[in-house]
A and B are shown apart, each in its own frame.
Chain A
Amino acid sequence: KNQVEQSPQSLIILEGKNCTLQCNYTVSPFSNLRWYKQDTGRGPVSLTIMTFSENTKSNGRYTATLDADTKQSSLHITASQLSDSASYICVVSAVEYGNKLVFGAGTILRVKS
């Protein structure tokens, strides 16, 4: 079982709408949690990095939240644009394994006009 589970697996929304992507993890203890955006055929690009003591971090229209007690994180996208169509990947740094990064399978987001 993957230690980082993301939901939904895929999502289609209309341009201008908001959406929230979920990440549940079992990795513990962890040093940081990251969200990446990966365009088709490209490498992942970092959106946010949060340590275990942070609750929220924003990057433009992207806002990530973290609840270390429930081991849940979310990525909220505001006023979606067509260019937001991509795969969004949640990544947790596992202290136990020498801070190895454990990747979720990602959520594929498609924004329609």
Chain B
Amino acid sequence: GAGVSQSPRYKVTKRGQDVALRCDPISGHVSLYWYRQALGQGPEFLTYFNYEAQQDKSGLPNDRFSAERPEGSISTLTIQRTEQRDSAMYRCASSLAGGNTGELFFGEGSRLTVL
């Protein structure tokens, strides 16, 4: 696609439910990043991939969060047993170059609300 596409754009769920957020990066981009952003704050790094390999998952808050990119393209961020504190905007970004040297292109984000 022309840009980074994320779905769903909005997700409202009840506490305790699992959610899966999808990111479709720009075609050919090697690196894919997941961030989350609380209102009025800068993005907080969660994890990133080069191709299908998860390079750094140190930003994942706890073991309820996981991410995968099995074929080196589309990625899914899964949050199990959601809690109210998980409510945030979850953003995906992709970069043509590997590592963190290339320009990042961000998606429009997935707004998660946990009731």
A residues with CB within 8 A of B: 4, 31-32, 42-46, 49, 89, 91, 93, 97-106, 108
Instruction: Please pick, from A43, A91, A105, the residue contacting B107 in the complex, using a CB distance under 8 A.
Output: A43
B103 at interface (Cβ–Cβ under 8 A)?
Answer: yes
Nearest chain B residue, comparing its CB with the CB of A42: B108
How many chain B residues sit at the interface, stated as a range, is 20 to 34
In the complex, which residues of chain B have a beta carbon less than 8 angstroms from the beta carbon of A105?
A: 40-42
Q: Measured between alpha carbons, how far is A105 from B33 in the docked complex, in Å?
A: 18
Identify whether the interface residues of A are mostly helix, strand, loop, or mixed. strand
Cβ-defined contact, A103 with B100, below 8 A = no
Also in contact, A100 and B45, with CB within 8 A (given A32-B101, A49-B103): yes
A-binding residues in B (CB < 8 A):
4, 33, 35, 40-45, 48, 55-56, 58-59, 91, 93, 99-101, 103-104, 106-109
A108 proximity list for chain B (CB < 8 A): 40
Considering the chains assembled together, what is the distance between the CA atoms of A104 and B42 in angstroms? 6
